Amino acid sequence: MLEHNSQNTGNLPSPLPMDVFHNQKQRTWFREHPESNSARSAFQHFKQDDCVVESKLFWFSESATKQKISASTEFTSNWEDSDLTRTPSNKIGIDFFLTSDANSLLIVLSNRKKLRVMELHDHLSNTQKQIFEHNLFNAADYDDSKINNGQNLEPQQTIHKRLWDALQLKEVNKQFYSIIAQFFEDLVKTMENQGKNSEDAKQFSSRLLGRMLFIWFLRKMKIIYEDFGYFEIDSLSATEYYEKKIKLLFFSTLNTDISDRKHLDYITPYLNGGLFEPKENDFIHETINFPKDYFKNLFDRFNEFNFTTDESSADFEVIAVDPEMLGQVFENLLATQNEDTGQSARKLSGAFYTPRDIVAFICKESLREYLYSKVGNKAFNQGIDLLIDYSDAEFLARKSTSGADLWGVNSKNITKTILEALDNYKVLDPACGSGAFPMGMIQLLVRTYERLLKSYDAYELKLSIIENNIFGVDIEPMAIEISRLRAWLSVIIDEPDKSKIQPLPNLDFKFVCANSLISLAQDGTSIFDDPNLDLKLSDIRLKYFNARVKSSKDKWQKKYYELTTGNIQLGETIRSEQLRSFDPFIVKKPASFFDSFFMFGVHNFDAIIGNPPYVGTKKRSTADKKALENEFGFADDLYSHFFFKGIALLKEGGNLTYITSKTFWTIQSKKNLRELLLSNTVNYIFDTVNPFESAMVDTAITSVTKKTFDSKNLIKFLDGSESLMSPLELEIEQSTYINTQNTVIFTPTKQNLKIYELYGKKIKELNNLWWDKISTSKKIEHNKEELNEYRSNLKPGEITLLGCLTEGGVGLQTGNNGKYIAVRKSTKWADNIMKTRPRKLKDAINKYNIPANELCGYTNLEALFNELEEKDIDTVFDIIKEKYGRDVFGQGYLYRIIDDKEIVDVDSLTEDEKINGISTTKNYYVPYDKGDKDGNKWYLETPFAIAWTKENVSYLKTDSRARYQGYAYFFKEGFCWSDINTTYLKCRAKQKSINDVKSMSLYGLSDQVPEYYIISIINSKFMSRYVDDFVNNTQTFQINDARQLPIVVPSEEKLQELLPHFQEAIRIKKSGDSVQEENNRELEIIENKIEDIILEIYQIK
């Protein structure tokens, strides 16, 4: 790519013309040109007509800041700068920056003002070698024959994507994490083998690795006095090295004031802050045996990577391990298996690491809303937008010597107002995890201050923000430790003279370990009866934050204990027990409550931000559910409670912004949450789909201001389903959501708004009138006469709810499917049973040492299955299940196989046989609809049958493990669907059978609205989209969802037009799989015709 170089010519590349610099100040960023006093060391490094890539080289004369790098990449226009510059005449730009000391070379790529940076220093790391070898070499090559000449974006688009993807920080992070995870697992196992309990082993291992990672960042900044030999392992074993050198560095150096040290290291600074304070499970007085060469191997692996101490942001990503990795390591280590449940701890806690772009977006929008409200004049909002949204390059070009010129003649006054507002800004993340959002907000506030202030001290500025603006809470002790650690590190990097590093501030009252959702009880004698307590606690927090020596810290800790829990006796009241559970100085367990005033000295906040856990109630203990019910009046998914708690913690006019699961948009159990949000002022909703790599859930960002909504309030809706980075921008009146059925939230596309205009008001009226009468099968039966009357008066063209037209309910739950359910021999399900039975039986024999006499005398399983008849094989399995447990072969495992001729003709059964069972003197298997995992539409002959004997039926009616329900609908034709809703709903005609609890079944009650018409509606793509937007956007579709479907009463003409197409669909499905591909094509044609008819009926086409 760079064949034309100065080595061949002996000449330096041409300098950039002086007019590319926007002002004189920018010229001074770079060294003078070696050969010309009138030029700078800013070169057109490479540019050829036959190549679509060009490069520039800059040699800084001073520090290489993010702002300067960002501005320099935009001195000349390149293809990747914006949508407007993506033309065939523009080239892709690669920029190289040499630091002032010529010790580091930065390679910079840009993409719509976002930068990715790789620093080359000393030698190439293994990761960098891989990037060059596998990603960057030949990245600019392209094959003209493979380029679509009709696209003006080529070949630049293909080449730029290769280059941009080559510098992906997430790939570096994945590699690094996999290494850390292995060291974590090895050490945990070693400690458990030494008798340490699992939790202590995990906390010790994660804390050690976090500390070592932190140390590596300190080494990068040359803060540790290396001549003292802390990292010289020599011939020491891993255990000896930890005892002699790591403990010395951790506890006797970094955690000890220089004046108190007993060894001769007077250069490495005392860090304070608590990270290196020995915890109870650091086992400081014990000898921990480490795996062989543990630290040597760890250091070798660390040395394979580049490290940077400055956290990347969404706009400036350095391709190196940065302090965010501390957070990612924590979040991912939570994914280790819980030994008791087998579930991942990450899943149990609902913790998922939030991508940088999401963090940056939420922080920006939260600050924007706050500044809008503080300035209080919409005329100045554009200037606030520029302050927040401008890239560094754009802002440097705009900023004058007197400050930020964003509001014309009003700039001075507005700047003063905003600076005062920033000083008073209080932001809380109530589920902060390892600090992604607090760190994102610190970065944003630092940048905002920098743009407004004429001069500032970066170290003091960041310290002030951490002290006054940022607060975090999490229930995980390790998360709080890492949040504090990242905040400490962010302060250190801004001290220019590393020899003058001051002890770090104490962040015990900035990030606390507590249960955010539970309030401090108000019972009993209040310690707040002291009218001056708040002032005393405030003074302690301030003094403790700035305490730099151990004696001072101990003094203020003692005073805190005396004021809060000194006079409380355990067991006195719920409140006193709660207070005792909070110890900000020893983070081993979470406090059982959260009180922002008691813990932070802040009553309410200007902004609440975060990514609260998504844990559902099924994963909570009974005690947890009870506590939530006592606090909120209900127990639901945790993120729902975080909305309620967050809004309660806001100041009036404050702003809450969360990224959460978007299940609350539609489902009935979240109606209370929708009503809470819509009773306030919703600013925007951003459908982010699923930006998380590991969370299997679609998400949305919701921003709401604690202020009664205005009926004309317009909600900005960002649809990121196609592109997260370039979402479709829509708008909708908040009153529209309030007026929908169940106040659902939907994407305001043109079609959805048309549906709302056509049916929204009417459906809501129907829901208000009928839902309490049709929400259960019992209610439908109770209101039968009223519903009959209503149905008899329906007219073509009118709209009603499916629940008013049908009856039905959940089906039978046997509690022991293996005992009752058989599979027809002619089906693929039987083939699967024949393949798996031998293995299942063999596993049971090996596990329980089952003797031959319980296997009909067989010792050879192959002979057993070849020689015994199916009924005898059933008996073998039945006996083993009876003796060794219902789930001996696996929960719900089916092993019975029957011939089709063994299934009785349902129409030949007497009413008594249907109700009470069939004699074993005749065929007694009847069709059993067990649902359909394959998701067949239109028709399916069930492959299952149930042994409907008198004995079995009698037992099912009385067995506590079974649920004998839905019997009123046994042996009735109707329609059913798969309860798992993937892309589209799948409904089919139901034969006369017993229906299982998994078979969602309803039965029509109106000749005017026949079942084939209902099946056709449910199978239409239109209705699937309607369900997803207006009824239930989760992956399940239950009976109560179906009852809410809007059904337009058809005309006789439309029914006649539809019927032959429905019959043809049934015929195709019945014809079997022998010509499957041809059938699928035929069926697709029929389904499209049915779709057109449904759209016409609903007036949507």
Structure token digits, residue 879: 């006996």
Q: Minimal CA–CA distance to 607: which of 885, 316, 364, 337?
A: 364
User: Mean pLDDT in the chain?
Assistant: 87
| pLDDT tens digits along 749-762 | 999 999 999 999 99
Q: Cα-flanking dihedrals φ and ψ of residue 1066, to 5°?
A: -65, -45
pLDDT of residue 314: 80
pLDDT of residue 674: 97
Mean pLDDT for 61-75 is 89
pLDDT exceeds cutoff 80 at 354: no
pLDDT of residue 337: 35
DSSP notation for 64-99: --HHHHHHHTTSS--TTS-STT-STTPPEEEEEEE-
| pLDDT tens digits along 551-609 | 777 787 788 777 776 655 544 677 777 877 887 777 778 989 999 988 888 999 999 99
pLDDT exceeds cutoff 70 at 146: no
Which of 194-198, 521-525, 1000-1004 is the least confident region?
521-525
Residue with tokens 């059993």: 928
| pLDDT tens digits along 1027-1057 | 999 998 888 888 999 999 999 999 999 999 9
pLDDT exceeds cutoff 70 at 147: no
pLDDT of residue 219: 87
pLDDT exceeds cutoff 90 at 35: no
Measured distance CA(553)–CA(585) in Å, rounded: 10
Mean pLDDT for 1061-1085 is 82
- H or E stretch covering 299: helix 294-302
pLDDT of residue 331: 64
3-class DSSP assignment, residue 293: coil
pLDDT of residue 697: 79
Which residues, in sequence order, are bridge partners of residue 429? 472
pLDDT of residue 340: 31
- Helix and strand numbers, DSSP H then E, in the chain: 42, 30
pLDDT exceeds cutoff 90 at 874: yes
Which of 250-259, 626-635, 1068-1077 is the least confident region?
1068-1077
pLDDT of residue 151: 52
Which of 270-274, 356-360, 486-490, 906-910 is the least confident region?
270-274
Measured distance CA(111)–CA(22) in Å, rounded: 21
Cβ(437)–Cβ(358) below 8 Å: no
Question: Higher pLDDT residue, 1039 or 1?
Answer: 1039
Structure token digits, residue 1006: 């109106």
pLDDT of residue 2: 40
Mean pLDDT for 311-338 is 72
End-to-end CA distance of the chain: 54
Q: Minimal CA–CA distance to 707: which of 606, 818, 595, 575?
A: 606
CB burial string 518-528: b at 16+ within 10 A, e below: bbbbeeeeebe
Which residues, in sequence order, are bridge partners of residue 714? 733
| pLDDT tens digits along 783-793 | 999 999 999 99
Give strand ranges (E) for 611-666: 650-661
pLDDT of residue 849: 92
pLDDT of residue 954: 94
pLDDT of residue 616: 77
Mean pLDDT for 238-255 is 94
| pLDDT tens digits along 446-481 | 999 999 998 888 888 988 999 899 999 999 887 887
Structure token digits, residue 309: 């101490």
Burial class (CB in 10 A: 0-12, 13-18, 19+), 632: middle
